[in-house]
Amino acid sequence: MRKLDYAAIRDQIPIRRVLDLLDWAPAGQRLHQWRGLCPLGCSPSRGSQQDRCFSVHISHGLFRCFHCQRSGNQLDLWAIVSGLPLYPATLDLCRHLAIEPITLENPQPRNDH
């Protein structure tokens, strides 16, 4: 199994693209901080106190839901939504966005002779 370079993939996929795939729109935003209903299915209906429980920091690529306590980066978000472990979820996200997954190069064995 290929080892994925998760950091490089996160750099290539802004969290905004994942939110677009989820058809998520913020209920409010202040610069890089967006708030709205949790796309993970934990939020009650609009108009309740929890309608802004999901927070996204766009420039840092991080999310947190203050209702269900889930948090992470864009790859974690896609893994939760898709119900897959991180590795297959990352491959699935790359496929949805037509991006070639970035893998870690296997280090060459050292020849100290």
pLDDT in tens, 15-29: 999 999 999 999 998
Instruction: Name residue 4's beta-bridge partners.
Output: 103
Report yes or no: 62 and 71 within 8 Å, Cβ to Cβ.
yes
Distance CA 38, CA 26 (A): 10
Q: What is the mean pLDDT of each run of 10 residues along the chain (113 residues)?
A: 92 97 92 92 62 91 94 98 97 97 67 53
Q: Nearest Cα to 32, choosing from 55, 14, 57, 15? A: 57
Domains and CATH numbers, the chain: 6-96 (3.90.580.10)
Q: Sort strands 62-65 and 71-73 into parallel, antiparallel or unpaired.
A: antiparallel
